[in-house]
């Protein structure tokens, strides 16, 4: 399981005073401000949220030390992480997207499709990116109950009912 979890991503500058557009990946989007200092993926930079408010389709955040638009613009697309222990405990059937990376993807009959290499959100729902077991082009699968009926973190796998064209191209 991942030691750190991505809880937000900076979208870009908002206004002239150093605020940024922020996309929260937490169940309650405003909860991103409750987890303390946020760090970049490599841990090289950290950010403290001074103010947070909802806007249409995103949040607007002010970080301590970011005072102008230029500084805010340099943060565009930065993903923000917190140590897993700062997050609330999960229920038995819950998991974080970070827990999916590296899981084996298998069909219902147990045959291996590949490995989960990423979870994407392009705006219309989560998409799992699978690296096929034999190499080649990644397979993108909607992360819905219809296409991923079972997530089994304990066994290190997900069961996938791939779209027909992906199954034909991946085998």
Tell me which H or E stretch contains 123: none
Q: 132 φ, ψ to 5°?
A: -60, 145
Is the model's pLDDT at 2 over the cut of 80? no
Six-digit token string for 111: 């045959």
Task: For each of the domains in the chain, give its residue range(s) and CATH number, in order of start.
Answer: 4-84 (2.40.30.60), 97-170 (2.30.30.240)
Is the model's pLDDT at 78 over the cut of 50? yes
- Report pLDDT digits (tens) over 55-72: 998 999 999 999 999 999
Sheet containing strand 46-47, strands side by side? 46-47, 38-39, 79-83, 4-14, 19-24, 58-63, 49-55
Query: Would you state the pLDDT for residue 34?
Result: 93
């Amino acid at each position: 399981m991942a030691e750190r979890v991505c809880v937000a991503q900076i979208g870009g500058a908002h206004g002239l005073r150093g605020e940024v557009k922020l996309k929260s990946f937490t169940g309650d989007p405003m909860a991103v401000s409750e987890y303390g200092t946020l760090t970049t993926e490599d841990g090289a930079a950290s950010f403290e949220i001074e103010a947070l408010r909802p806007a249409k389709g995103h949040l607007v955040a002010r970080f301590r030390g970011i005072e102008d638009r230029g500084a805010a613009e340099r943060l565009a697309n930065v993903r923000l992480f917190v140590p897993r222990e700062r997050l609330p405990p999960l229920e038995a059937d819950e998991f974080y997207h970070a827990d999916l990376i590296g899981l084996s993807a298998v069909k219902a009959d147990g045959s291996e499709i590949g490995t989960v290499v990423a979870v994407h959100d392009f705006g219309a729902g989560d998409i799992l990116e699978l690296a096929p077991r034999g190499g080649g082009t990644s397979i993108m699968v909607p992360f819905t109950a219809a296409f991923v009926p079972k997530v089994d973190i304990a066994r290190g796998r997900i069961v996938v009912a791939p779209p027909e064209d992906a199954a034909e191209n991946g085998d």
